[in-house]
Structure 1
């Protein structure tokens, strides 16, 4: 199989800026001519093997960063935006989109931000009652989307927060449990910790400096909530510095992101990076075994596996997604080439939807996307019950997966015939941009293709895709 050519001009320029070298000096370090480096930095030539080796040897650069999923995410997002009917006359080749994503990522993100602003304005105008009810009349971006995109383009890995949490998890005597460390830290900060028969998971009284955790919550949830509050109290400077770098446009987005970062810290403290990565490899990513070892929930383990993207110590590149019963995506991240729709639900052929049909069981699937990439996907339903009879029960489904080339590292791949092409089910990203012309579950026509409608003939769909 031919190796994929890597075009990573913007990353070469960024690295050269980090080490403060001129193009001439940088070319000498890499062992190439100045014109050749210039062509690579402008994506007119792919990164050569010689340069890849020099980047690793001379600068200690993690060469896997050259083919990270950031450009693929941008390409997928741009394709979805360009499938909007308002842009139906615009159909740039895929090669142009890839060139833009790799050579001008800032421009690509500006285009996506512009399209998102258009969609939000359009959706608000379609709901006049809500729009007219606003006193200021301003059309602000969705804070939730701002925060979700922040984590999405950080590869769902925040290095400073991750390392701070890992450091905390090793404080004190070696025999001390994580809860021992949490209680000790609370005492040092003058915080009273108590458990009470209340429905609210976590309540912190800033005046009395008392933290109340619901005794009805599961042990993993109790520990997680304690760690969230610990982050908010002890990591204030780090949280604020990270938020400053993110440059959110609204106070609401900043507030939501702060909670998200505290949640990230909690997960990283509960499952410290190096120890968790080693355990994941030893158990072959057995979610149930990892949940027992670290006192975490299945969802917490799956989410944590998707964050193992530390430079120089990366885990298997997973995608992770959570959907509700309506099929709407409530959490999403992908370190793989598989990306999720920014608008609408997940592909109906994906096994994440089947998880609702088999509660308490893992559902395995071999799947292939329209670009020919094959994946193994694991899905399971997640229940979040209330604390009393009649209390509402929240129900979700989660999916965790990776490209099939990593299947040998997953216990869930055992007994699956990964070499059989017919074993792979066809899935897509979203019906609006999916290129499959004969999908029996298609909800809307692909917006980039012309349709042929024959009233005297009916197949799976009431139209044919040209």
Structure 2
């Protein structure tokens, strides 16, 4: 298999600018000529092995950052947006998308934001009949996608918040004792804690400084909610500074992001970075062992594993997602090349959909995406009871996975035949951008392929993909 060339012009320019170096000085330190550096920065030439080594030795750069991050995500996001039927007649080639993501990432993000605005407007117009006639009807842009993109392009790792949580965790007696530590910290702030039979998991009264937690919630959830409230009270300046840096366009997006950052702090305090990373490597990423050691739920552990992207101390790049029974992705993050569908459901061949059929069990899958990358996928249901008879049960399934090259570091890979090419199931992102011709679960044709329709012949699909 041919080695993929590395084009990282935008990252080279960004690094040089951050260091305050001219092209001439930067080229000298890298041991290349000025014209050669100029060609690399404009993606006219790939980054050579010599330059990669010089970046690591001279500047201490984590070279994995050159081949991952915004560029691949932008390409994936643009491909999916361009799968919208509105672009059916103007689909740019993949090479153009890569050039845009590498050379003009700000333009790519503006395009994604424009399309998101278009979709929101289109959806609002589609439901306008219902809104007309209501005096309280309001048409506002949803802030959810903006917040989701913020975490997405931060690699789901917020360094300042993560380190603050890790510093706080040092007050604890060790993994599994965070509940007591959080309770003591809240009481030190003058907050009274009461466990009551209430439907909300957490209810904090600002005036009385009373924090009520539901007795219906699990101990892990109660501990998490205490840490979340602690973040809102004790780390408010840090959270607000992070929000200032993000520059959200609406107050609603900022408010949602603040809750997201508080959630991030809670997870990072419950499973502090260095200790958790060491335990993950020691247990070979056994979710159940990690959950028992840190007194955390399976979902909390899986989500935390996907955030271990601290520069200089990175864990395995995982993807993480949570889906509901309709197949809608309610949480998502990927530190891998696999990117999730921003619009519509996930690929039906993905094992996460089968997790609802086998409650309480881990499902394993070897999968290959259309780009030839192979993954180990782990799925399990995480249903959440309402806590009383007749209370609604929230049913979800989570997925966690990584590229198969990390198989030796995963206990779940021990029973899988990772060297057998036939053991890998073909999966995709969404049908509109999946180029597989023979998929038996295809719901709509791929936009980048022509169709052959024969009225006298019918296979699994009423058409053939050329």
Moved more, 222-231 or 99-108: 99-108
Contact 2:367 2:425 in 1 (8 A): yes
Unaligned runs of 5+ in 1: none
C-alpha spacing 1:138/1:309, structure 2 compared with 1 (3 Å): same
Q: Specify the SS of the correspondent of 1:163.
A: helix
Contact 1:433 1:446 in 2 (8 A): yes
Q: Specify the SS of the correspondent of 1:355.
A: helix
C-alpha spacing 1:173/1:418, structure 2 compared with 1 (3 Å): closer
**Residue 28 of structure 1 aligns with which residue?**
28
Contact 1:29 1:58 in 2 (8 A): yes
Structure 2 residue 408 is matched with structure 1 residue 418: no
**Residue 245 of structure 2 aligns with which residue?**
245
Deviation readout 1:147-170 (Å, 9 max, x if unpaired): 111111111111111000000000
Moved more, 132-141 or 206-215: 132-141
Q: Which runs of 4+ in 1 moved over 6 A?
A: 134-138, 172-176
Deviation readout 1:306-356 (Å, 9 max, x if unpaired): 000000100000010110000001011111111111000100000000101
**Residue 129 of structure 1 aligns with which residue?**
129
C-alpha spacing 1:138/1:54, structure 2 compared with 1 (3 Å): farther
1:174 Cα deviation after fit: 6.8
| Superposed counterparts of 1:212-227, under 5 Å | 212-227=212-227
C-alpha spacing 1:389/1:94, structure 2 compared with 1 (3 Å): same
Q: Specify the SS of the correspondent of 1:380.
A: strand
Unaligned runs of 5+ in 2: none
| Superposed counterparts of 1:123-202, under 5 Å | 123-130=123-130, 132=132, 140-171=140-171, 177-202=177-202
Q: Specify the SS of the correspondent of 2:122.
A: helix
| Superposed counterparts of 1:15-94, under 5 Å | 15-94=15-94
C-alpha spacing 1:115/1:175, structure 2 compared with 1 (3 Å): closer
Contact 1:309 1:315 in 2 (8 A): yes
Contact 1:71 1:101 in 2 (8 A): yes
Q: For the residues of structure 2 that align with 1:182 and 1:147, how far apart are their CA atoms?
A: 27
1:130 Cα deviation after fit: 4.4
Q: Specify the SS of the correspondent of 1:364.
A: strand
1:449 Cα deviation after fit: 2.0
**Residue 430 of structure 2 aligns with which residue?**
430
**Residue 328 of structure 1 aligns with which residue?**
328
Contact 2:183 2:226 in 1 (8 A): no
Contact 1:83 1:432 in 2 (8 A): yes
Q: For the residues of structure 2 that align with 1:375 and 1:236, how far apart are their CA atoms?
A: 39
1:4 Cα deviation after fit: 2.4
Q: TM-score, normalised by structure 2?
A: 0.97
**Residue 115 of structure 1 aligns with which residue?**
115
**Residue 274 of structure 1 aligns with which residue?**
274
1:202 Cα deviation after fit: 0.7
Q: For the residues of structure 2 that align with 1:326 and 1:178, how far apart are their CA atoms?
A: 35
Q: Specify the SS of the correspondent of 2:460.
A: coil
Aligned residue pair count: 466
**Residue 7 of structure 1 aligns with which residue?**
7
Q: TM-score, normalised by structure 1?
A: 0.97
Moved more, 456-465 or 191-200: 191-200
1:134 Cα deviation after fit: 7.7
Deviation readout 1:347-377 (Å, 9 max, x if unpaired): 0000000101101000000001111111110
Cα RMSD for the two superposed structures = 1.7
1:450 Cα deviation after fit: 2.2
Q: For the residues of structure 1 that align with 2:406 and 2:172, how far apart are their CA atoms?
A: 37
1:133 Cα deviation after fit: 5.8
Contact 1:125 1:131 in 2 (8 A): no
Contact 2:16 2:26 in 1 (8 A): yes
Structure 2 residue 368 is matched with structure 1 residue 368: yes
Q: Specify the SS of the correspondent of 1:62.
A: coil
**Residue 454 of structure 1 aligns with which residue?**
454
Contact 2:175 2:294 in 1 (8 A): no
Q: For the residues of structure 2 that align with 1:43 and 1:132, how far apart are their CA atoms?
A: 51
Moved more, 236-245 or 85-94: 85-94
Contact 1:299 1:382 in 2 (8 A): yes
Deviation readout 1:229-275 (Å, 9 max, x if unpaired): 00000110111111111111111111111111100000000000000
Q: For the residues of structure 2 that align with 1:87 and 1:211, how far apart are their CA atoms?
A: 51
